Amino acid sequence: MTEKPWQGRFSEKTDRAVEAFTASIDIDRRLFPYDIEGSIAHCRMLAHTGIIGEEEADKLVEGLGRILRELERGEFPFDDGLEDIHMHIEARLVQLVGPVAQKLHTARSRNDQVALDTRLYLRAETGRVIASLATLRRELVKLATAHLDTPMPGYTHLQRAQPVLLAHHLMAYYEMFTRDAERCRDSLKRTNVLPLGSAALAGTTYPIDRLYTAGLLSFPQVSANSLDAVADRDFVIEFLATASIGMVHLSRLAEELILWSSAEFRFVELPDAFATGSSIMPQKKNPDVPELVRGKTGRVFGDLMALLTMMKGLPMTYNRDMQEDKRALFDAVDTFKECLDITARMLPRLHFGRERMRLAVEGGFLNATDLADYLVTRGMPFRQAHGCAGRAVGFALAQGRELHQLTLEELRGCSPLIEKEIYSFLTPAAMIDRRNSLGGTATDQVRQAIARAEAALADEAGSRDP
């Protein structure tokens, strides 16, 4: 049985069942690049402040580099008796460089060490999520550009409401995912804080230089309170909340693709490469990819709820419960990125049923509001115009016709203010392009929205370039 770092206090060896129960190596081993990065920075700081010698530091850094290569190549010797990645790396370092390895843990605890590893990991993964969101947003803009001339019904209560451009509908999702990217960038401000140097909870007696360590690890801020630094998982919860909102947006898009690909809508056809068939019904083409995105949303919600529930009752400062944060965090990160990436791959392969959408716009009295608006331009108060248009809809329903199919005399039965020009008000193109208020569905407005989006994406790409 492997000797534990704390064994001096204990008279019994750790029970094998307890070792298995408390072990986290199967989960936290993926933190190894960040654990080594943090250890190298800590080692350099110890040498910088004279706590250890420069030659000792060089030897430790060399050993840590070798361990990193072993882990990257899958050659690292894992030991069931060592419960986490931190102890594995420390034990291996002792094997490689000898007793000097035992100096590396000077002025730090596993409490501030794991807090650092988690922040380094989440900082890197948040950057990858932001990049994936940019890719998805770019695909939405490309699709919108290709469909500036495609009208479709806009819906409220899942009932046809008013005509909009498909491009306008797609750009609505661009706005949603842009907010997700903004939330990710904002959360980085609270993730990008150095906890190392807080030690177990109270700080350390050694003359460390936390600002020096922060500079080595590119942290713009250092935690202000050692108790808070090791107790804090707000930054993880904040990311999980951001990911949950992002999954809501992915799920809403997935739901619409599922509905639109049904025989009842036929607004879109999914590519064969992103669908599956039935084991019994040969005709089936199932929208499995968007269905799984919709389903995986619940997993990310669950990860957020798990962490909120875990943290809500913990006293200061570090408690072993917090070991469970990484399982939820890793699952949410992996799931969110996977769903972003598969959606971005699917979007450019979608085939929209333009003719089906056009026909849907022409039915269902989507021009009723425009009839009321026309009467307002003729001097009628809107509430009165609304009632007049409603009576016209009732008459048309009884006749089995649409408003634009009624004769002028029939329409004038609603109001003598109606003239022949009314028919030019009731076409889908006219209805769309008259909605030219800022942010509206008019072609000019959507074209401007696309131009703004393209400029924003270009700026973001430029800011990421070295």
Structural domains of the chain in order of their starting residue, each with its CATH number = 7-106 (1.10.275.10), 111-205+218-354 (1.20.200.10), 360-464 (1.10.40.30)
Look at residues 162, 143, 146, 144 and name the one whose alpha carbon lies nearest to residue 430. 162
Instruction: Judge whether residue 7 has pLDDT over 60.
Output: no
Instruction: Judge whether residue 417 has pLDDT over 50.
Output: yes
> Which tens digit of pLDDT belongs to each residue from 368-398?
999 999 999 999 999 999 999 999 999 999 9
pLDDT class for 411, splitting at 50, 70, 90?
very high
Q: Pull the structure tokens for residue 76.
A: 């690292």
Q: Which residues are catalytic?
A: 157, 278
> Which tens digit of pLDDT belongs to each residue from 171-193?
999 999 999 999 999 999 999 99
For 72, counting Cβ atoms within 10 Å of its Cβ (0-12 exposed, 13-18 middle, 19+ buried), the class is exposed
d(CA 346, CA 136): 10
Residues 6+ away with beta carbon under 8 Å from 449: 168, 171, 439
Q: pTM for this one?
A: 0.93
- Exposure string of 401-437, with b = 16+ CB inside 10 Å and e = fewer, is ebbbebeeebbeebbebbeeebeebbbbeebbbebee
Instruction: Say what the pLDDT of residue 466 is.
Output: 45
Going from the C-alpha of 347 to that of each of 79, 189, 353, 423, 458, the distances in angstroms are 45, 32, 14, 37, 20
Instruction: Say what the pLDDT of residue 1 is.
Output: 42
Encoded amino acid at 275, one letter: A
> Which tens digit of pLDDT belongs to each residue from 203-258?
999 999 999 999 999 999 999 999 999 999 999 999 999 999 999 999 999 999 99
DSSP H helices in 147-225: 166-191, 210-216
Q: Pull the structure tokens for residue 466.
A: 């070295």
Higher pLDDT, 63 or 9: 63
